[in-house]
């Protein structure tokens, strides 16, 4: 009887292991909730809600970990010169293509939430996003 039960358990374990419908359990992050780019994240650094370069965040929906890059991606009208926009707003221009540009502030500890809101309010700005890097994903 024990051999029958043991065989049944082993076979059911094998069926479960090959089932594509398995659910991966992830630990729910504990920390301050932060909303960035219309997505919710949880700070992995205690109750730190100040968005600065290097802050680690986790998506409660997927469990993926992101790092705040310190960059702000700005889409502006094509008549806006990215170099002039950078110097007028005390920013460093990292990249520009068409009407999109990536800027960063010289001070890595600048609160990016405040800077993002300030840039979004500038004339000619269509949209802004705070830069996030997915952990484990190599950038070019």
Q: Which residue, among 53, 49, 52, 45, has the nearest Cα to 34 in the 3D structure?
A: 49
Report pLDDT digits (tens) over 77-93: 999 999 999 999 999 99
Domains in the chain, ordered, with CATH?
33-134 (3.30.70)
Q: What is the pLDDT of residue 45?
A: 86
Global confidence as pTM: 0.74
- DSSP for 43-112 reads ESSTT-----TT-EEE-TTT--EEEEEEEEEEEE-TTS-HHHHHHHTTEEEEEEETTEEEEEESSTTS-H
Residue pair 72/128 in contact (Cβ under 8 Å)? The answer is: yes
């Amino acid at each position: 009887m024990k051999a029958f039960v043991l065989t049944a358990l082993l076979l059911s374990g094998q069926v479960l292991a090959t089932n594509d419908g398995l659910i991966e359990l992830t630990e729910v992050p504990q920390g301050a909730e932060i909303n960035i780019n219309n997505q919710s994240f949880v700070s992995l650094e205690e109750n730190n809600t100040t968005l600065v370069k290097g802050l680690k965040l986790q998506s409660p929906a997927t469990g993926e970990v992101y790092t705040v890059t310190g960059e702000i991606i700005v889409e502006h009208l094509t008549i806006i010169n990215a170099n002039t926009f950078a110097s007028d707003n005390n920013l460093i221009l990292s990249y520009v293509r068409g009407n999109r540009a990536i800027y960063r502030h010289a001070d890595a500890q600048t609160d990016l939430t405040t800077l993002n809101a300030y840039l979004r309010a500038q004339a000619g700005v269509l949209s802004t996003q705070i830069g996030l890097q997915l952990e484990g994903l190599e950038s070019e």
